[in-house]
Amino acid sequence: MRRLSSALAFVYLVTQGFFPHRVEASFWAERRQVVERQRGASVQTTALSLSTPALLAGNLPPLEKTPLTALANNVAQSLPEKFKALNGDLLSALPLTSGTVRKVSLPKNPSGLTVVHIQDVHMNLEAQKNIAQAVQSLAGTVGLVALEGSHETMDLSKFRTFPHHDAVKMVADYLLKEGKISGPVHTAFTGPAQMPPVVGVEDGSLYDANVTAYRQAAPDQEKRRAQLADVQKDLNQRKETVFNPALKKLDKADSLVKSLIFWGQINQPAV
C-alpha cells in the first residue's frame, strides 16, 4: 500500500505539477512569437508607407478645406470662378450641417458687398439651432449680423464676456427652447467675444404698424378660424355633389401636392 501510494503521488505530481506549466509556457511562447511577427509586419508596412509619399499623395484627398461645402451641386456649377475665388472664405465658413446654399444672385458690380440671407422656420427649435450654428460659423468672416424684428443695435458683449459663461449659456438655451429668442440672438449671447455688430434692420414705423395690426386682429382669431372651418365644410359638401370622379381625383391630388410643398418648406432650411 505504501509503494502504491508513493507511485500515485509521483504520477499526480508530474502530471499536475510540471506538465501543465510546460503547456502554459509553450502557449505563451507561441503567443509572443505571433505578436512579434505581427509587430514586425506592422513596422514593415509603416516603413513602406513612409518611404512612398508619392503613392499616398495619389490616393488620399487633399487636406485643404473646400470652399463649396454648403453649395448645392447645381448652384456650384453655375457660379463663375471669379466669384468662387473672391468669396472662398465666406463659402467655406458656411457649415454643411446647418443648411444648404440654394441660390446665389450675382450683382452687376462684382466688387460690391456680399449678403448671406438665411431663411428658416420661426419658433422651431431645430431650425433656430441651425441658424445659430451658421451665424456662429460666419462670425469671424462677416462684418455685420442683420436681424429682422428690430430696428436698433443690440450690444450683448457684456453677456459674452461674463465670467460665468455656463450660466449665460443655460439661460440662452432655455430662452431659445421656449421661443423667446431666435437662433442669431442665441449666438449673440453665447458666441465668441469678438462678434460682429448685431443690428436690427427693420423699418421702425412699418414694424410698429405691423405689430399694431396683429394686436388688433389677434382677439378675433378663434372666431375667424371657426368661420373659415364652416366655409371649408360647406365647400367640401358641394364638391361631393358637383364634381365628377375625374375632378374629385384631381382635387385630392392638388391638395396632396400643396401639403407636400408646405411640409418641404418647413423641413428644408436654406441659406
List pLDDT tens digits, range 94-128. Answer: 877 888 888 888 877 766 788 888 888 888 889 89
pLDDT of residue 145: 92
User: Is 251 inside a domain boundary?
Assistant: yes
3-state SS assignment for residue 171:
helix
Q: How far apart, in whole angstroms, are the C-alpha atoms of residue 76 and residue 24?
A: 65
- Residue 135 and residue 187 in contact, taking contact as beta carbons nearer than 8 Å: yes
Residue 184 has pLDDT above 50, yes or no: yes
pLDDT score for 164? 93
Residue pair 158/128 in contact (Cβ under 8 Å)? The answer is no
On whether residue 122 sits in a domain, the answer given is: no
Contacts of 69 (CB under 8 A, 6+ apart): 91, 92, 94, 95, 96
Asked if residue 231 belongs to a domain, the reply is: yes
Bigger pLDDT: 90 vs 164: 164
- The answer to whether residue 128 is domain-embedded is no
Confidence of residue 170 (pLDDT cuts 50, 70, 90): very high
Contact status, residue 156 vs residue 125, Cβ threshold 8 Å: no
pLDDT at 79: 80
Residue with cell 510546460: 22
Last residue of a domain, one of 44, 59, 74: 59
pLDDT digits (tens, 9 = 90+) for 222-270: 999 999 899 989 988 888 888 888 888 888 877 766 655 555 544 444 4
Instruction: Determine which helix (DSSP H) or strand (DSSP E) holds 264, and give its type and residue range.
Output: helix 245-267
User: The dihedral of CA 262, 98, 116, 125: what is its sign?
Assistant: positive
Of 34, 59, 84, which residue is a domain's last? 59
How far apart (Å, rounded) are the C-alpha atoms in residues 185 and 18?
77
Q: Which of 114, 105, 51 is nearest to 80 (CA)?
A: 105
**What is the tally of structural domains in the chain?**
2
Distances (CA, A) of 7 to 4, 13, 20: 5, 10, 19
- What digits encode the pLDDT tens for the residues 9-62? 665 555 555 555 454 455 556 656 654 554 454 433 333 333 333 333 344 333
Determine the Cα–Cα distance for residues 196 and 198; give it in Å rounded to an integer. Answer: 6
Does position 151 have pLDDT exceeding 90, yes or no?
Answer: no
Domain assignment of residue 7, yes or no: yes
Judge whether 173 lies within some domain.
no
Categorize the per-residue pLDDT at 6 as very low, low, confident or very high, splitting at 50, 70 and 90: low
- Quote the domain boundaries for residue 234: 205-267
Taken in order 29, 35, 38, 43, is the CA torsion positive or negative? negative
- What average pLDDT score do residues 66-80 get? 67
Q: Please report which helix (H) or strand (E) contains residue 42, including its range.
A: helix 19-50
In a domain, 71, yes or no: no
Q: How confident is the model at residue 63 (pLDDT cuts 50, 70, 90)?
A: very low
pLDDT at 226: 92
Q: Is 15 left (phi over 0), alpha (psi -120 to 50) or beta?
A: alpha
- Is 13 among the domain residues? yes
